[in-house]
C-alpha cells in the first residue's frame, strides 16, 4: 500500500478506536478532554498527549489491572502480566475481540517465518502469566500447523521432545536458544543435523544482533527470525527477509519516531524513541505510547514490504542506556561485541558508580582464556577501558525467558 493510502487507513482506524473507547474509558476520557475529535488528518496526531508506562499503574487500591482498561472486568477473557523487567509489573486483560486481533497480527510474523500447516512448532517457554508466546501458540494453531507446548520441561527434556516430534520451528528467546545449544553440546548432540529449520526469537534485542544471530544459526543449522512485541502493546514487528532489521506492522500500529537528540520527529536513519499506537485493541487501548525502545527508522529501503524498517531492530532501551565517561552505551551493543568471540559463553555486565562516574565490569565464565582480548576489543570499539574478568564455570545465572545479564548497582 502506498504510504499516503496507508496513512488514510491508519486515520480511519484511529478514529474508529477513539469512537469506541470514549467516553467509557476514563483514563483516556481524562487525557483527551477538550481535544477536537475525530481527527481530520494524521498530522493532528501530535496534538494528542503521549502515554507513559508509569501512568498505567493502577491508582485504585482494589484494582490490579492497568489504568487504561475500557470495560468492566467481566467483559475480558484473557489476563496476562508484564514481565516487570522495566518498572512495576502490570496486569493487562484482553476481550475475545482484542485477542483475535493479536492472533491476526501474528500472521505477519508467521508469513516471515514461512510457516505452513506441515510445520511442527515448539513453544520453548514457560506458559505463565507473562505473555511470552501465548498468542504465537494460538496463531500457529489457527494457521493449521502443530503447536507443541513445553512449559515445565527441563532443557534436556525439551531437546528430547524436539527429536521425538521432529519439530521444524522453535519459538524462544535468543538467550534460551543459545542455552539449549549449550546443553546439546554437553550431550554431544548435533543440533545442526536435526529437524529444526527456523527459530523465532523475541523478548530481547539479540535476534537483530548479527553476532548473536550468527551463533544461534550456526549451532542449530537454522534460520533466525526476529520478532518484537510487548504485553501492553501487542505483536508489532517482524524481521525483513534480508535480516537487516524489523518492520513495524503499520496496518495495525501507528509508529512515530522522536529524535533522541532534538526531541523532534526523527529524520530517516536518526536514533529515536519508538512511539506506538495499536489500532485494534479497544479493551486496553494505548494512544501514542512511549515504548522506551531506541531505533533507527528507514522509510527508504530495499525490502519488498512498504512498512517502515527499523535498521538493526531494537537497538536498546532508554532506561538501559549507560553514560560511561561521556560515551553512550547500550547493553545490546556490548553483547554484540562479546558474542563475536566464540569462546564467550555466559557473561554478566555490572554497572557501578564511583563518585560521579559510572563504571562497567564484565564477568566471563571459565573456561575462557581471552579476557584480555575481549577487553582490548571493547576498548577498540567503544573507546573505553572496561574491566574484564573470569568467574567459575556455571556460576552465573541461566535464563529461559528474558535474560538479565545487565546488573545496575548505581543506585
For residue 365, with 0-12 CB atoms within 10 Å meaning exposed, 13-18 middle and 19 or more buried, which class applies?
A: middle
Q: Count of alpha carbons within 13 Å of 242, Cβ hemisphere only?
A: 12
pLDDT of residue 342: 80
Q: Which residues of the chain, if any, have pLDDT below 70?
A: 61-62, 83-88, 319-320, 323, 325-326, 328, 355-357, 400-403, 411
Domains of the chain with CATH codes: 1-317 (3.40.50.12780), 321-408 (3.30.300.30)
DSSP letters, 199-244, are: EEE-SSGGGG-HHHHHHHHHHHTSEEEEEEEETTTEEEEEE-TTSS
CA distances from 328 to 331, 351, 362, 375 (A): 10, 13, 17, 18
Q: What is the C-alpha separation between 164 and 162, in angstroms, rounded?
A: 6
pLDDT of residue 325: 65
Give the other-Cβ count within 10 Å of 340's Cβ: 17
Would you give the end-to-end CA distance of the chain in angstroms?
48
pLDDT of residue 87: 57
**228 forms bridges with which residues in the sheet?**
237
The three-class DSSP label of residue 305 is coil
* pLDDT tens string 344-369: 888 888 888 776 667 888 999 887 77
Contact of 386 with 364, CB cutoff 8 Å = no
Task: Give 38's DSSP letter.
Answer: S
Locus of grid cell 566464540: 342
pLDDT of residue 79: 94
Give residue 24's region: left, alpha or beta (phi > 0; psi -120 to 50). Answer: alpha
pLDDT of residue 4: 93
Q: What is the C-alpha separation between 112 and 173, in angstroms, rounded?
A: 17
* pLDDT tens string 174-211: 888 988 998 999 999 999 999 999 999 988 777 878 88
pLDDT of residue 133: 86
Is the backbone peptide bond immediately before 376 cis, with ω within 30 degrees of 0? Answer: no
Grid cell, residue 332, equals 545490546
pLDDT of residue 323: 67
* Structural Rg of the chain based on CA atoms: 22
pLDDT of residue 383: 77
The three-class DSSP label of residue 15 is helix
pTM of the model: 0.83
Amino acid at each position: 500500500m502506498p504510504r499516503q493510502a496507508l496513512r488514510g487507513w491508519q486515520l480511519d482506524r484511529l478514529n474508529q478506536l477513539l469512537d469506541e473507547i470514549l467516553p467509557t474509558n476514563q483514563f483516556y476520557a481524562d487525557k483527551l478532554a477538550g481535544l477536537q475529535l475525530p481527527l481530520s488528518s494524521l498530522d493532528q496526531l501530535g496534538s494528542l498527549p503521549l502515554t507513559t508506562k508509569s501512568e498505567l499503574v493502577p491508582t485504585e487500591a482494589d484494582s490490579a489491572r492497568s489504568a487504561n482498561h475500557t470495560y468492566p472486568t467481566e467483559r475480558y477473557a484473557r489476563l496476562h502480566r508484564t514481565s516487570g523487567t522495566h518498572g512495576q509489573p502490570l496486569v493487562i486483560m484482553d476481550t475475545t475481540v482484542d485477542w483475535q486481533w493479536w492472533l491476526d497480527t501474528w500472521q505477519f510474523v508467521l508469513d516471515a517465518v514461512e510457516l505452513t500447516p506441515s510445520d511442527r512448532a515448539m513453544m520453548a517457554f514457560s506458559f505463565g502469566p507473562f505473555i511470552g508466546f501465548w498468542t504465537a501458540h494460538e496463531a500457529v494453531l489457527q494457521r493449521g500447523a502443530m503447536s507443541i507446548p513445553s512449559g515445565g520441561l527441563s532443557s534436556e527434556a525439551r531437546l528430547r521432545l524436539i527429536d521425538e516430534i521432529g519439530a521444524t520451528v522453535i519459538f524462544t528467546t535468543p538467550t534460551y536458544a543459545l542455552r539449549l545449544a549449550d546443553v546439546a553440546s554437553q550431550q554431544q548432540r548435533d543440533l545442526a543435523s536435526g529437524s529444526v529449520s527456523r527459530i523465532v526469537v523475541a523478548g530481547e534485542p539479540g535476534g537483530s544482533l548479527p553476532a548473536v544471530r550468527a551463533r544461534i544459526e550456526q549451532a542449530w543449522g537454522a534460520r533466525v527470525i526476529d520478532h518484537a512485541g510487548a504485553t501492553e502493546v501487542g505483536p508489532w514487528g517482524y524481521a525483513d527477509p534480508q535480516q537487516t532489521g524489523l518492520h513495524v506492522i503499520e496496518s495495525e500500529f501507528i509508529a512515530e519516531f522522536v529524535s533522541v537528540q532534538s526531541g523532534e520527529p526523527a529524520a530517516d536513519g536518526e536514533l529515536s524513541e519508538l512511539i506506538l499506537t495499536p489500532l485494534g485493541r479497544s479493551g486496553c487501548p494505548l494512544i501514542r505510547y512511549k515504548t522506551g525502545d531506541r531505533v533507527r527508522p528507514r522509510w527508504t529501503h530495499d525490502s519488498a514490504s512498504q512498512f517502515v524498517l527499523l535498521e538493526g531492530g531494537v537497538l536498546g532501551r532508554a532506561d538501559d542506556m549507560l553514560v560511561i565517561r561521556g560515551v553512550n552505551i547500550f547493553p545490546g551493543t556490548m553483547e554484540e561485541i562479546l558474542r563475536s568471540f566464540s569462546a564467550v559463553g555466559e557473561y554478566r555486565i555490572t554497572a557501578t558508580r564511583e563518585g560521579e562516574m559510572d563504571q562497567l565490569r564484565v564477568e566471563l565464565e571459565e573456561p575462557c582464556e581471552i579476557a584480555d582480548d575481549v577487553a582490548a576489543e571493547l576498548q577498540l570499539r567503544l573507546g573505553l577501558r572496561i574491566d574484564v574478568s573470569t568467574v567459575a564455570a556455571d556460576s552465573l545465572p541461566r535464563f529461559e525467558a528474558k535474560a538479565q545479564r545487565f546488573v545496575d548497582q548505581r543506585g
